[in-house]
Amino acid sequence: MTQNPPDFPLRALFEAQHAASRAQVDVPLALRRDRLARLRDLIETHAEALSEAVEADFGVRSRSLTEAADLFVLRAGMAQLHKELPRWMKRQRVRTPFYLLPARGYLQPQPLGVVGVIGPWNYPLQLTLGPAATALAAGNRVMLKPSELTPQSSALMASLVRQTFAADEFCVIQGGSDVAQAFSQLPFDHLFFTGSTQVGRQVAAAAAVNLTPTTLELGGKSPCIIDASCDLHDAAIKIAHGKLLNAGQTCIAPDYVMLPKGMEPAFETAYWAAVAKLFPSIEGNPDYASIVSERHHARLLALVDEACKQGARVSGWDVSPANGSTRRQMAPALVFDVPPGARLMTEEIFGPVLPVLSYIDLDEAIAAINARPRPLALYWFGREDAHRDKVLMRTVSGGVSVNDTLMHVAHEQLPFGGVGESGWGAYHGKAGFLRFTQQKPVLVQSRFAMGHLFYPPYGARFTRV
């Protein structure tokens, strides 16, 4: 694994970025667009090499998957930033209350200064360069710390960024959790973290010491509710896609399904038909990603094994070479009758294993969701609008897709983020720009201001009669 040398100047890099951000507070549109253009060119010129690096990091992960799930999303986000920046950078007039007239008030967007970004391994390009691009567009300097679990793509990003940007503009820091810990202790103007809830707590605690504001994009167990009114075949293929994209290693993958009691056999049949359509084979299929490491693979096998020992029934479970192979391509599984205390129902799964729970009435399903930490995403499938509205109005989640999975993340006008234990703060589109921007309120007084009416001595001026 590529490591920074022991005398790695983390602090010196931060100081250089900090000094530069204070020396140039007003970052003009042309410079912001130039930084975005350099980043876009870097991605375009090296798209193939970046995808190859991700493939090497995972073992198996087709370049098409990285194109669709990392690079396509990155390009779309950067194109929107380029287009909308002039509008978003403009000061925004606000209405002034009558007692302050004829003063004027406006909001002046300004860069925050230095933004730290800590990224995960599951979409190692989109979830690192995406927030970095938004922070640069908002006029900030950026220090990025990608995951040590994807060392090849992290090293390539570090080298390409070094060739393209001055270190006090944008730099990539490589290293493990020790480096990440030191990184999160830097007094950034904003720290943007994507990763697990467990590490998110540590990041929030480290940032609090410096009063550094954070965005925490965390994980959790995202439920998928099937209504009796749904088109089961349509639901099954969308759930299978959402669950098996990147072999379930997606923060908003449906973590478990809840369906009306009695629908289990029909769902089981429809799900396997959908899986066969999407992935005619598992082992060796480049579209079906590997589990990222031996440790993660072993954990997933143990989760299913433990649930089975506690009485769960596994459908499609395959302990043939596909599960144990060096490629770590883990076959998909449905798990029925999972005891509530099993780790499959207490931990985020983050793999191609889907517990299926049954409910008798909708209130019971809603209560079960509300008894858990608030999820990052919630999915609902059906045609009964009253049921849909009941679920949406009585549950709280980071985001929702109705009659689909994952897709709300791709809608660039919808902010993306968690709530409660799935995180705080949202980004994408304008929400991202604002996340990395100080919207400075300014009041401009008029020569004809009536402010003196508020000066003492008050006499009887404010006395109610």
- The tokens for 221 are 């167990």
* Angle (nearest 5°) at CA 270 between 264 and 274: 140
Give min distance, CB of 250 to ligand NAD, in A: 7
- Least gap, CB of 91 to ligand NAD (angstroms): 31
- Contact status, residue 274 vs residue 236, Cβ threshold 8 Å: yes
Q: Does an H or E element contain 132, and which? A: helix 126-137
Residue 113 Rama label (left phi>0; alpha psi -120 to 50; beta)? left
> Collapsing DSSP states into helix, strand and coil, what is residue 249?
coil
- Angle of helix 29-45 versus helix 72-89 axis, rounded to 10: 170
Q: How far is the CB of 419 from ligand NAD (least distance, A)?
A: 11
The H or E element containing residue 81 is: helix 72-89
Which CB sits closer to ligand NAD, 27 or 406?
406
- Least distance from ligand NAD to the Cβ atom of residue 196, Å: 3
Residue 248 falls in which region: left (phi positive, over 0), alpha (psi -120 to 50) or beta = left
Q: In whole angstroms, give the CA distance from residue 32 to residue 66.
A: 26
Structure tokens at 284: 């060796």
Nearest residue (CB) to ligand NAD, 271 versus 427: 427
CB of 283 to ligand NAD, least distance (A): 24
CB closer to ligand NAD out of 197 and 267: 197
Our CB check for ligand NAD shows the closer of 214 and 323 to be 214
Distance CA 379, CA 234 (A): 13
Residue 297 has which token pair?
């693979």
Chain residues in the site for ligand NAD (CB under 6 A): 118-122, 127, 145, 147-148, 177, 180-181, 184, 194-196, 199, 202-203, 217-219, 251, 348, 350, 376, 418, 423
202/229 with CB nearer ligand NAD: 202
d(CA 286, CA 289): 7
3-state secondary structure 288-335: CCCCCCHHHHHHHHHHHHHHHHCCCEEECCCCCHHHHCCCCCCCCEEE
Q: How far is CA 392 from CA 18, 73, 357, in A?
A: 43, 27, 19
3-state secondary structure of 222: strand
Q: How far is the CB of 121 from ligand NAD (least distance, A)?
A: 5
Catalytic pick among 217, 348, 412, 421: 217
Q: Say which amino acid occupies 450.
A: M
User: In the complex with ligand NAD, which residue's Cβ is closer, 70 or 264?
Assistant: 70
Choice between 120 and 139, CB closer to ligand NAD: 120
Number of Cβ within 10 Å of residue 91's Cβ equals 13
Q: Is 44 a catalytic residue?
A: no
Active site residues: 217
